[in-house]
Amino acid sequence: MRSTSPVWHPFTQHAVQGEIPTIVRTEGAWLEAEDGHRIFDAISSWWVVTHGHRYPPIMAAIRAETERLDQVIFAGFTHPPAEALARELVAITAPELTHVFYSDSGSTAVEVALKMALGFWLHSGENRRRILALEGAYHGDTIGGMSVGERGVFNAPYEPLLFDVGRLPFPHHGREQQTLDALDAACRDHAVAALIVEPLILGAGGMLIYAPAVLAEMARICRRHGVLLIADEVMTGWGRTGALFACEQAGVAPDIACTSKGLTGGVIPLAATLCSEPIFAAHYDEDRRKTFFHSSSYTANPIACAAALANVKVWQSEPVIQRIAALAAIHAKALDRFRGDKRFENIRQLGSIAALDLVVPDAGYLADIGPRLYRHFLARDLLVRPLGNTIYLMPPYCSTEAEIGRVYDAIAAIEL
Ligand code: PMP
């Protein structure tokens, strides 16, 4: 039956969705529905919540900031939370990243990154406009983000709006050299401005993992050809892969890095695109046409910046990496029981993320099994949103072994 609510939900086919739970309270790794029952948030509410829902120091920082500031125009003005946060972000990322541009979502962080890259080359007097991206990538749902993302079901209707990019094969295990060779060949074209990658793991593209050594080699090839490297750390940032940022695991310093989601601990929207000094310098000119023409009304919202600053302090004062390591050990132990189980294949894990594929005749995002799996988990009070036949867990770092065990028990109970 068609819902009477006027709300149109994201990535939701209302014709098949079924009833949509109304959540009235969140706590730790749990969502509480209006009828009182609790749902375990095994995917951190779309990968944003890191320490747990309503993590006290972050909520306290938000409350405190609301006593001082609301929104302040960020063109020609600044404020303490934005300044302090930018200094922290520069301090905790690669030393090459020296400037911080704020926006509001992962998609806008990517748009900003692409615009920075093109602006850099234009203002440097070189005609480099082509972007390279990985097959299967997902970088958001704005036009630029969709353009660099894999073409397919997510963006097919908008194809006429999307710009052409150079696509590199995903570095599947054993076939990494193909990717590196394709990158090297593509970079010989002097029109290439930048390569954009999700470091170490494709998120919405199916939780596909590749080795840090491959990322490091991609960075070296880019450097050799003067091609900018954009790291989209929107999903991978803030500990998901076991390190604060995934690039650290490969010893890679990108020219541009995008962060959002866990930036505020997942409480409130905020994004930042960090860039190197040469990129800022290329836009720094008395010629006002070289201004970086990107804005959004809510750029660097002070309350969001205060939340992010509190999140950085949590990272500095609490053993977050150890919590993630403990979570990774729980996954590793739990995944073992599915090895040799004929229903599953490609059992994999990176830090706090675990994934496995169900063996079905129609793999992919629209696999028939997808909606059935979603209902299977929801019926057990578990929020798991399989990507087609790919089941993954990405729980908040406060999740316990018993909580995570419930999800693995539910996976074990799947009947094909
Ligand atoms: N990049 C990556 C790697 C993502 O996973 C996502 C969102 N899942 C985005 C960009 C877009 O972020 P947002 O949904 O906040 O716009």
- Is the Cβ atom of 204 under 6 angstroms away from ligand 1? yes
Q: How far apart are CA 233 and CA 199, in angstroms?
A: 7
Distance 334 CA to ligand 1 centre (A): 28
What's the gap in Å between 84 CA and the centre of ligand 1?
Answer: 25
Enumerate residue ranges in the chain where pLDDT < 70.
none
Ligand 1 centroid vs 202 CA: distance in angstroms?
11
210 C-beta closer than 6 A to ligand 1: no
* β-bridge pairing 192-197 and 130-134: parallel
Separation of CA 311 and ligand 1 centre (Å): 19
Q: Report d(CA 371, CA 203) in Å as an integer.
A: 19
What pLDDT, on the 0 to 100 scale, is given for residue 18?
Answer: 85
Q: Under DSSP, is residue 208 helix (H, G, I), strand (E, B) or coil?
A: strand
What is the residue with the minimal CA distance to atom 13 of ligand 1?
A: 106
Which atom of ligand 1 lies at the shortest distance from residue 107's CA? 16
**Cβ–ligand 1 contact at 301 (below 6 Å):** no
Asked if residue 259 has its Cβ within 6 Å of ligand 1, the reply is: no
For ligand 1, whether the C-beta of 234 sits within 6 Å is yes
Give yes or no for residue 200 CB within 6 A of ligand 1: no
Q: Which has the closest alpha carbon to 273: 287, 292, 260, 286?
A: 260
Q: Is 269 in contact with 104 (CB distance < 8 Å)?
A: yes
Phi, psi of 356 (to 5 degrees): -155, 155
Q: How far is the CA of 155 from the centre of ligand 1 (A)?
A: 14
Q: Which atom of ligand 1 is nearest to the CA of 137?
A: 3
pLDDT score, position 365: 84
Residue positions counted in the chain: 416
Give distance in angstroms: CA of 288 to centre of ligand 1: 31
pLDDT at 2: 82
Q: Of 120, 117, 115, 123, nearest to 144 (Cα)?
A: 115
CB 331 within 8 A of CB 404: yes
pTM of the prediction?
0.98
- Is 320 in contact with 51 (CB distance < 8 Å)? yes
217 lines ligand 1 (CB under 6 A): no
Atom 14 of ligand 1, nearest CA residue: 106
Helix/strand/coil for 231: strand
Atom of ligand 1 nearest to the CA of 198: 3
Q: Over the stretch 189-222, which tens digit does the pLDDT of each residue have?
A: 889 999 999 999 999 999 999 999 999 999 999 9
Q: Which of 393, 237, 228, 416 is nearest to 320 (CA)?
A: 237
Q: Scan for tokens 């905790």, then name that residue.
A: 92
Task: Return the structure tokens found at 70.
Answer: 């609301």
Question: Distance from the CA of 234 to the center of ligand 1, in angstroms?
Answer: 6
Partner residues linked to 275 by β-bridges: 99, 256
Of ligand 1's atoms, which has the minimum distance to the CA of residue 236?
Answer: 3
The b/e string for 50-65 (b: 16+ C-beta within 10 A; e otherwise) is: bbbbbbebbbebbeeb
User: ∠348-353-359 over CA atoms, to 5°?
Assistant: 40
By DSSP bridging, strand 208-209 and strand 344-350 are unpaired
Token digits of residue 170: 């995903």
Which residue has a Cα nearest atom 12 of ligand 1?
A: 106
Q: Where does residue 10 rank: exposed (0-12), middle (13-18), buried (19+ CB within 10 A)?
A: exposed
Q: Is 106 in the pocket of ligand 1 (CB under 6 A)?
A: yes
Residue with tokens 């003005």: 77
DSSP state at residue 170:
P
Burial category of 178 from C-beta neighbours within 10 Å (exposed 0-12, middle 13-18, buried 19 and up) = middle
Domains and CATH numbers, the chain: 14-54+319-412 (3.90.1150.10), 59-317 (3.40.640.10)
Geometric angle at alpha carbon 243, from 249 and 175, rounded to 5°: 40
User: Closest ligand 1 atom to the C-alpha of 260?
Assistant: 15
Pairing of strands 228-232, 192-197: parallel
Does residue 138's CB lie within 6 angstroms of at least one atom of ligand 1?
yes
Cβ 198 under 6 angstroms from ligand 1: yes
CA distances from 6 to 17, 234, 398 (A): 15, 30, 35
Sign, CA dihedral 251-273-269-19, equals: negative
| CB of 235 sitting under 6 A from ligand 1 | yes
> Are 398 and 50 spatial neighbours (Cβ–Cβ below 8 Å)?
no
95 within 8 A of 253, measured Cβ to Cβ: yes
- Mutation pick for ligand 1 pocket among 235, 238, 259, 394 (CB with most ligand atoms within 8 Å): 235
